[in-house]
Amino acid sequence: MNTMVRLSIEAISKYLKDSNKLFYEDIYGQSSYEDPLEVARYYIDKAFIELLVLMDFLKLENTYSEFKELYNKAKSVKEGLTYSEMGTDEPYLVWPGEIRKYLIAVANITNTEIENFQISQDLIEIIRHSIYSILDNNLFECPPANELEFQTRIESILKCVYPDMLHEPTISKQIKSFRPDTGIPSLKTLIEYKYISNVNDSKVVADQILADTRGYSSNDWNKFLFVIYETKRIKHEKDWRQLLRNCDTARNIDIVVLSGEPKTSKKAKLKSLNKTFQRKPKQPGSR
């Protein structure tokens, strides 16, 4: 039973992760889907249904009834399952957060570990949203000019969130020519940065990624995240992920692509709460 419960909880966690990712892709106009909100709605619905099934299986009758009321409420509001509210800096989906509260409770009573999964997702989202800070012309005169500059800007953000972050950490089984850029011991996660400015760069980086995924082996580090900065739209994140799948790389390896040319659209401008890209430069002599 424990294996079935664990797999169900992991699946629900992934539905929530994917729904949030699609929501922000819709806001910032960076999705490969024609209607990312519709896909997000599908994942949220799956999360509700699967958690209801799990509660029924575990005979959590009172919790099941309460959660079913929440599901009905979510479907009845005007925006439905993709209802969002305004957070401190940007909007967020309401129902995935509510679902996660119940999911954590079920995980606790079944002694199922899901914390590591969630923390990893937090790391990915922090890096994904850092694009607005590392390109902010109020902070930097220009975008990152090379891999080291890109790494330095990302690390300055991560250090605020993860005080144990290490620059160029050592690993127990060092492989020739492989040295990770960043390590976060509390997450057991290594981070490798890549910088590309043209198609040829992307081909070289693809080879490097395949070599790097075979270049580490350590009990202290069990997750590996690639963060790619492209100076312009070169290769979509889903294509990089497909590369990992085609080469049968481990499930604990992930990838994030940040672009130096954010897509601008009317929809993105209306929905994005980041004012940096909406400010008009002051004219000389203006107040």
Give residue 250's pLDDT.
54
pTM for the predicted model, two decimal places:
0.56
Q: Confirm whether 44 is domain-assigned.
A: yes
Quick one: 144 and 171 in the same domain?
yes
Supply the mean pLDDT for the chain: 81
Q: Confirm whether 134 is domain-assigned.
A: yes
Quick one: 25 and 142 in the same domain?
no
Q: Confirm whether 281 is domain-assigned.
A: no
Q: Confirm whether 122 is domain-assigned.
A: no
Quick one: 242 and 162 in the same domain?
yes
Q: Confirm whether 118 is domain-assigned.
A: no
| CA dihedral over 218, 221, 222, 228, signed as positive or negative | negative
Element (H, E) at 190: strand 189-196
Residues in Cβ contact with 190 at an 8 Å cutoff, skipping those fewer than 6 apart: 169, 171, 180, 182, 183, 216, 221, 223, 224, 225
DSSP H helices, 77-198, are 94-109, 115-129, 131-134, 147-161
Tens digits of residue pLDDT in 94-136: 999 899 999 989 998 988 876 554 446 678 888 988 888 898 8
Q: Confirm whether 25 is domain-assigned.
A: yes
Q: Confirm whether 14 is domain-assigned.
A: yes
Q: Confirm whether 92 is domain-assigned.
A: yes
Give the domain-ending residue among 80, 113, 146: 113
Quick one: 82 and 156 in the same domain?
no
Quick one: 266 and 132 in the same domain?
yes
Beta-carbon neighbour count of residue 57 at 10 Å?
A: 13
- How much of the chain, in percent, has pLDDT values that exceed 90? 36
Q: Report whether 227 contacts 256 (CB < 8 A).
A: yes
Q: Which residues pair with 195 in a beta bridge?
A: 229
Quick one: 101 and 140 in the same domain?
no
Number of compact structural domains in the chain: 2
Quick one: 136 and 95 in the same domain?
no
Tens digits of residue pLDDT in 199-245: 999 889 888 887 776 655 566 787 889 999 999 888 888 788 778 77
- The answer, yes or no, to whether residue 264 has pLDDT greater than 60, is no
User: What CATH number has the domain bearing residue 196?
Assistant: 3.40.1350
- The answer, yes or no, to whether residue 139 has pLDDT greater than 70, is yes
For residue 98, the enclosing domain spans 2-113
Quick one: 144 and 108 in the same domain?
no
Quick one: 220 and 164 in the same domain?
yes
CA–CA separation, 168 and 165 (whole Å): 10
Give residue 287's pLDDT.
44
Quick one: 135 and 103 in the same domain?
no
CA–CA separation, 125 and 256 (whole Å): 9
Give the domain-ending residue among 113, 147, 171: 113
Quick one: 73 and 139 in the same domain?
no
